């Protein structure tokens, strides 16, 4: 059963890669509302601790027009552009309208293809030989499969997304891809 974590996404196909259940997903253009920060240069990462603190402080301001209210995320923006753009990080929720409280940052993500992987004990056991893992660890599992599957990491902004539905205990890793 396909679970929608990003409003509007659609399953293109399921891929069994070395007993790991990957999904090729189409994600339409989306609007993310939350807190974003970029590195001060082309080498470093943004200050994630300060970003998280800003995000937590701004949670007092409601986000309007939430597209998928039970889900939140962490987005890595331009992390794999090899020094051609500053690295960015965002903590956010998807919204359908960018008319939001001025305390919030808005990031518009163009439509893209992603390969996603569910963070489950079964996946952790198959991929790492242990009962659990962190969502960010799954990015490497996906990237290791890309060449064999005929894809490469995409360059369309948000290259990695961690999606969380804490209430339901669900989490997914998304890696943006392009055909080779």
Domains in the chain with CATH codes: 10-179 (3.20.80.10)
Residue 144 predicted with pLDDT over 80: yes
pLDDT for 25 equals 98
What is the full DSSP assignment across 134-150? -TTHHHHHHHHHHHHHT
Residue 177 predicted with pLDDT over 90: yes
What share of the chain in percent tops pLDDT 70? 100
Closest Cα to residue 127, out of 117, 145, 141, 112? 141
For the whole prediction, is pTM greater than 0.85? yes
SS (H, E, C) 35-76: EEEECCCCCCCCCHHHHHHHHHHHCCCCCCCECCCCCEEEEE
Q: What is the pLDDT of residues 66-100, one digit of tens each?
A: 999 999 999 999 887 777 789 999 999 999 999 99
Q: Is 179 helix (H, G, I), strand (E, B) or coil?
A: strand
CA dihedral over 14, 112, 87, 165, signed as positive or negative: negative
Per-residue pLDDT band at 10 (split at 50, 70, 90): very high
């Amino acid at each position: 059963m396909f679970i929608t974590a990003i409003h509007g996404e659609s399953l293109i196909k399921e891929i069994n890669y070395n007993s790991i259940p990957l999904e090729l997903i189409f994600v339409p253009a989306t609007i993310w509302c939350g807190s974003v920060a970029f590195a001060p240069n082309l080498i470093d990462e943004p200050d994630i601790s300060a970003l998280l603190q800003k995000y937590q402080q701004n949670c007092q301001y409601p986000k309007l027009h939430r597209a998928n209210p039970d889900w939140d995320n962490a987005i890595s923006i331009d992390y794999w552009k090899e020094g051609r753009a500053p690295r960015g990080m965002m903590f956010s929720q998807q919204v359908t309208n960018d008319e939001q409280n001025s305390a919030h940052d808005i990031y518009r993500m163009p439509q893209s293809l992603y390969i996603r992987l569910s963070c489950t004990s079964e996946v952790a056991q198959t991929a790492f030989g242990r009962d659990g893992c962190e969502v960010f660890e799954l990015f490497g599992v996906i990237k290791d499969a890309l060449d064999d599957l005929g894809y490469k990491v995409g360059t369309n902004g948000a290259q990695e997304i961690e999606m969380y539905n804490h209430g339901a205990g669900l989490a997914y890793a998304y890696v943006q891809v392009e055909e080779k």
